[in-house]
Amino acid sequence: MSDLILKNCRKQSLIGGQWVNAYSGETIDVEDPASEEIIAAIPRCGADEVDAAVRAARLAFESASWSRMRPIDRGRLLESIARKIEDHADELALLESIDTGKAVAFAKMLDIPSTVEVFRYMSGWCSKMHGETLPVSFDGREYHAYTRRDPVGVVGAITPWNYPLALGAWKIASALAAGCTVVLKPAELTSLSSLRLAELCLEAGLPEGVLNVVTGYGHEVGKALALHNDVNKVTFTGSTAVGKQIAEYSLGNMKRVTLELGGKSPSIVFDDADLERVGPGAALAIFFNSGQICFAASRLLVQEKVYDQVVEAVAAAAQTFKLGNGRDADTMLGPLVSRKQQERVLDYCASGVAQGAELVTGGKRHGDKGYFVEPTVFANTNPSMKIVQEEIFGPVVSIMPFKEMDDALKLANDSIYGLAANVWTRDINKAHKMAARLEAGSVWINCHGIIDAAAPFGGFKQSGWGREVSAEGLYAYTETKTVCALLD
């Protein structure tokens, strides 16, 4: 089954409705991170292909078939795409597992449904975006003033490798719902599912050129897209360092920019929490998807009274997670996405030991093939340590004690990041006081990682600019225009 899907899946870029190789003929090898085998090759595109894709997107944006499409029909088209994804759910989940290493079961449970749901959610917005009438006073004469939301134009969308299909859908569905056209640059490590999604969009009836996909390296394709003067907006999900570069590249024509960047999210456990839920909950909050999640709760702050108990519970949970190939039915955690990422995570583990943290469990490579790293728990850490301050993007949690609520807040907010946080407590007053004072774009109480298309997602501080999905995320793909007419 895997071989058949790989054989039949698209391995070309999509420009103006045509499937093309890189103009240079160069390719990038695609690796299975569970076996370290080369499984495919994708085009290594560059600035010329980006230029062609942007031209195609501009033509499509200005065409009557897209710009004059009735909002209700655009919504029907997004619903058709959602159904296409549902019809190919098993194929897409397996492709995502092969490409990223994650468990097929979790791709079917989370990645594919969230992809479907964001298209379905945004389909409803197509016929519900509206402006407002304005009570203009000015000089006392009678005016009719109102606002309208116009699509921003051509959108350059740059997606990461951890959730290529779901995060690609966040950007594509929002942009299309607003009436924009898109040039998508998926991560070179995990482009296969994005190419298949584009194929399904065409099959659903999306006009040619409305969605284009250009594969290649970030420093070539991503940079060219962010620099392009005919791109009106860039939306990027990835590291803070690259996000800052994207922002600089976008200054040339003052592109609108949405950046969903790094995180070092705190998980805060008070001594009145339901500890039976905290152990597995805090463990999953960091170890799910092998820690390759921007909002992973990689800093665990525990009130002193229950500190030892929580450390023991999280370590015990970590030791039960089975590592293996994502296509194996009993796999809980797959490999990291690449050798580079595995080496990065192991270097952080070594730095934790060198700086005096207590290694409770994990910290090593798992097996002799594939890019696996054991779920790793460090106790007795402090804010001066690299493993506490820097985003690792792997299955590594740092646990620190605190005395009172103010101490927890100080530790939690002591970060350049502000993407997410969670609070474990039975005290509803304490929970909401914490939520108000935490410097984070999302705060979850007695749960973690509840992501829904209706809820704005994004970060404070160096975790980014703007919000994804929801009405707020959708409006980021529009420009507000004020119209004022004098009525004689």
Contact 378, 358 (CB under 8 A): yes
Structure tokens at 9: 């899946």
Contact 332, 322 (CB under 8 A): yes
Q: Cα separation of 16 and 212, whole Å? A: 6
Establish whether 276 is a catalytic residue. Answer: no
Q: Cα separation of 352 and 363, whole Å? A: 9
Q: Cα separation of 113 and 106, whole Å? A: 10
Dihedral of the alpha carbons of 300, 306, 312, 313, in degrees to the nearest 10:
-80
Q: Cα separation of 278 and 46, whole Å? A: 47
> Amino acid letter at 181?
T
> Amino acid letter at 441?
G
Dihedral of the alpha carbons of 323, 327, 330, 336, in degrees to the nearest 10:
20
Marked catalytic residue, from 294, 391, 439, 468: 294
Establish whether 294 is a catalytic residue. Answer: yes
Q: Cα separation of 85 and 410, whole Å? A: 44
Marked catalytic residue, from 31, 260, 374, 439: 260
> Amino acid letter at 175?
A
Q: Cα separation of 122 and 94, whole Å? A: 25
Strands (E), 101-250: 133-134, 143-151, 154-158, 181-185, 211-213, 233-237
Q: Cα separation of 97 and 372, whole Å? A: 14
Residue 142 has a CB neighbour count (10 Å cut-off) of 9
3-state helix, strand, coil in the chain (%, to 5): 40, 20, 35
Q: Cα separation of 291 and 298, whole Å? A: 8
> Amino acid letter at 287?
F
Catalytic residue positions, numbered: 260, 294
